[in-house]
Structure 1
């Protein structure tokens, strides 16, 4: 039998859905990071004993030096929006589009943290993007009732982007 390539319209599509429950084991360092978020409403990172970088979110090992981190340091709550994406599609568990997700380097941290950014006028996406390219300052705002998740806070612009 000869092998032939099917035209795209002749290919069979089998719909499917991956919907399963799981439990993520956060480990000692991430568990402490999330516990501090939940109980104290603070963001902390771990300091590398070799290069002295403060890693946020906290990590057990420095990703540059590959040595264990043991010292903890509070950072923020303010920082700089380093990079961003203006999201135009709806995703489960996220706000209705458009909205901004960004990597923020908090004051006292050497690595960035991904989270939702509010306070951006998105009525003109191109203008919003131009303003956000100026790397505005932001401040973390914590929920009243926290669960020990990264969604326990978001970032709010504190700079005037005009």
Structure 2
């Protein structure tokens, strides 16, 4: 049997999609937009504060109950610096990080701004454990991009 060479097919998708946020997501984004607060949800079984908030605990499979305002500072749990530009995203280089905000038990992903991300500067500018603070957009829209992290 003759072996065929593998081929590729380049395609472009440009899709606008309306996400249904549900009660939990709606409350989270409305509080972010209207009050400049970052809220998590507490699991009544393990008492973890989940951020981003979820309607149920992924560990205990029970409905979450109380809304909890988390802190505006935290520590980097994981990060990556992106050096290749992608359509629809900020011009490279930029950094995204999972940050465990004070008062939360799960980390939230967002951009880290205000730092020189050229390759030689990355090691001294960020690492796992780096303390960061939340900065809010002046005009918020109820989106994750309404806030970002900066070095504390």
Task: Give CA deviations for 1:97-141 in whole Å, capped at 9, x if unaligned.
Answer: 111100000000000000000132323x25523552252111111
Distance 1:19 1:93, change over 3 A: closer
**1:106 maps onto 2:101 in alignment:** yes
Structure 1 regions of 5+ residues with no counterpart? none
Q: Alignment length, in residue pairs?
A: 152
CA RMSD of aligned residues (A): 1.6
Counterpart in the other structure of 1:18: 13
**More deviation, 17-26/67-76:** 17-26
- 1:7 to partner: Cα distance: 2.6
Counterpart in the other structure of 2:135: 141
User: In structure 1, what is the Cα distance between the partners aligned to 2:13 and 2:117?
Assistant: 33
**1:132 maps onto 2:126 in alignment:** yes
TM-score computed with the length of structure 2 as normaliser: 0.92
Counterparts of residues 1-162 of structure 1 (less than 5 Å): 4-8=2-6, 11=7, 13-123=8-118, 125-129=119-123, 131-158=125-152
Verify the 8 A CA contact 2:75 2:132 in the aligned structure 1: yes
Structure 2 regions of 5+ residues with no counterpart? none
User: In structure 1, what is the Cα distance between the partners aligned to 2:25 and 2:139?
Assistant: 19
Q: Looking at CA atoms only, which structure, 1 or 2, has the larger radius of gyration?
A: 1
